[in-house]
Amino acid sequence: MNQISNDLVSNQAVSNQAASSQIVSPGEPLRFAKPHRVAFIQSSWHREIVESCRHAFLQEAAVLGIPETQVGLFEVPGAYEIPLHAQLLAKTGRYTAIVAAALVVDGGIYRHEFVASTVVNALMQVQLQTEVPIFSAVLTPQQFHEHAAHVDFFRQHFATKGQEVAQACARTLYSLDYLGSQVAAGID
């Protein structure tokens, strides 16, 4: 009985130590338990805008400990093609995370909202089926016109989204590393 108590106390100490090591200051690289490889899938529609997301993602991911050499880049014609590519990439086992980026604006108001919703819902299904985390920067603005002011605004907006999705991706991978070590050690 005493051995069980000692084991529980020991496991709790390990758990508390691991939890405290999970706190990382913003801007510091994360110390991953293993190297991670990320797939970045982007739509080619409105490429000049969506590319700002990719560039910001790559820059922020590198700061957080995922170098550009560990990111595979894939381009598809439109947002609707992203989920199938995400599923096929997840099934390869080569990627520990997948990021999707697209600007969905074509068609009437109901059509582009339907497309964006369909894409995001399909990405969630792929994530749950494959257990590979998938992050979305698939955006659909209420109003978009192809003039300089809107293009510049959305280019900057996508750069911000690129940084945010890199942070979400890196922190999720870090958390999953921690969770995996807890599961392997039998700690809850």
Q: Is 111 a catalytic residue?
A: yes
The CA-based angle 149-155-156, given to 5 degrees, is 95
Q: One of 37, 111, 155, 171 is an active-site residue; which one?
A: 111
What is the spatial distance between Cα 78 and Cα 118, in angstroms, rounded to a whole number? Answer: 13
What is the spatial distance between Cα 28 and Cα 100, in angstroms, rounded to a whole number? Answer: 24
In terms of C-beta density within 10 A (0-12 exposed, 13-18 middle, 19 or more buried), how is residue 105 classed? buried
Which residue blocks in 22-147 are alpha helix, DSSP H? 47-63, 82-92, 109-130
Token look-up 């880049």 returns 73
The residues with which 97 forms a beta bridge, in sequence order, are 38
Token look-up 């969630």 returns 124
**Torsion angle of C-alpha atoms 173, 36, 51, 159, degrees rounded to 10:** 40
Which residues have a catalytic role annotated?
Answer: 111
